[in-house]
Amino acid sequence: MAAHGPYLIRLTHKLETDGRIFFLPSDKVYGYLLPYKPKGPMIELVLESFTVGRSVKANHRILPQTGQVRFKHFDAISKVQFALIKDKIGVFLEDRSSNGTYVNRTLVGRSKRVLLSHNDKIGVTEPKAIHFIYMHSNQDQYPIELTQKYTVAQELGKGACGTVMLGVRKEDSTQVAIKIIKKKEVALLPSSNKGNVLNEVKMLRAIEHPCVIRLEDAIETPDTLYIILELADGGELFDKIIEKTRFQENEAKLYFYQIVSAVEFMHSKNIAHRDLKPENILLVSDDESRPLIKITDLGLSKFVDFTTHLKTFCGTPQYLAPEVLFSRVRGSGIYDHKVDMWSLGVILYILLCGCPPFNPMHPKKSLVQQVTDGDYSFPESQWASISPEAIDLVTQLMTVDPKKRLGAAEALVHPWLADKEIQLKAEALMRPNVNREPATSIASKTRSGVSALFKRPAEEANGGQQCKRTKQ
């Protein structure tokens, strides 16, 4: 029998002695049950009837609290909420509850059964909740190099560079995100041969920042690159923007300080993101009182040829810096870390007013021309309540000339972000176990030089383009 880590629970044939329950080992695993929210160890299913509920006699007992996460509506859970039953046809879920068990948000109904499929989502007492995920044990569609270490579950999302799947590390049952990049669909850098990929992974694994998604591992086959990433399951900043429309200024500042802190750290390690946008900024949880963010795909530029990727980019250029768009036309591909700073300016603009700075329906200019001209404004109807310091930071980030555009270290000491209360809140989120004053990596001697930069007129910072409040 294969060895398993302490967090992979194998429940098999039950033996009762003196009121105590024992489980005998078996290798006949037909599926997995993954406690998703709250997170828990992945369970290997072997028993032909496997029960879940709050009773101590259930094969899997639902507890009122796991770590710091409480099981919502725990008191409504039945002693035996549901059972997983295997027969010749397949695996069925049988609802044995009083308050409802849901499969893919559809009520099963007391004493009724539903045939389960791979990645079916199970909710307990709540139709919209995902408490468990059922997975077949057959993982043949994935290479053995991956399935030896990870069980692949449901799809989390798709992007220009590949598909992201939920995964579970078998060694300790840690949930991870697995980014699957098909080589024939995405141009990889010539240096991305097997040896170099492993070297890059080793380097990137050593880089840790509380607001950067950690790269855990990478597995390469002749056709596919699998990048294993830390999982942040609070959703995308993009979805939060859609939900809230716009952020209060101090709220935006708390998010943005974390984002800039992460970018400054990565730039100090000579790593540029090149594809910053709200979809690539994730929330650790859905707890709005503690909005810790994490930037994902920061190490992707080490593997993916972004020059080719951006040349073939067919979506909106809303977040791309002017020099990136120029390079697409000229074919030069020459630009540096400052492309990230322009993207940060666009993100901040959207956080503060709820709208993008460039209008795809502009009667005279294409979106690309608006970006390359730096043709944006601050309509009074949307910006009247926003501080001049915030507008100044947006302007100095969205400066067409990258030589005049703020760097990440400079942005961190801009007067708008030099808010001690916000910095302390952000640092408490990023480093909850450290009791110290907020710090940036910029040297004190740089601060005096930076202060003069912030006194420049906005139109000078933006290469002559005046970006001021306008009436609309």
Amino acid, res. 461: A
Amino acid, res. 287: D
Question: How many angstroms separate the CA atoms of 428 and 315, rounded?
Answer: 37
Amino acid, res. 318: Q
Distance of CA 357 to the CA centre of its chain: 24
CA count, 13 A, side-chain hemisphere, 423: 16
Q: Length of the chain, please?
A: 472
Which among 418, 188, 154, 210 has a CA at the least distance from the CA of 304?
188
Would you call 275 a catalytic residue per the annotation?
yes
Distance of CA 27 to the CA centre of its chain: 35
Q: What is the CA radius of gyration of the chain?
A: 25
Q: Which residues of 403-435 are buried (b: 16+ CB within 10 A; e: fewer)?
A: eebbbbbbbbbbebbebeebbebbbebbeeeee
Pick the catalytic residue: 95, 120, 275, 392? 275
Which among 405, 386, 396, 388 has a CA at the least distance from the CA of 337?
405
Burial of 164 (0-12, 13-18, 19+ CB in 10 A): buried
Amino acid, res. 46: V
Helix (H, G, I), strand (E, B) or coil at 162: strand
Q: Crossing angle of helices 249-268/420-430, nearest 10°? A: 60
Name the one residue in this structure whose structure tokens are 């329950």: 21
Beta bridge partners of 304: 188
Which among 21, 194, 292 has a CA at the least distance from the CA of 12?
21
Amino acid, res. 219: I
Q: Which helix (H) or strand (E) holds 165?
A: strand 162-169
If phi over 0 gives left and psi between -120 and 50 gives alpha, with beta otherwise, what is residue 18? left
Active site residue ranges? 275
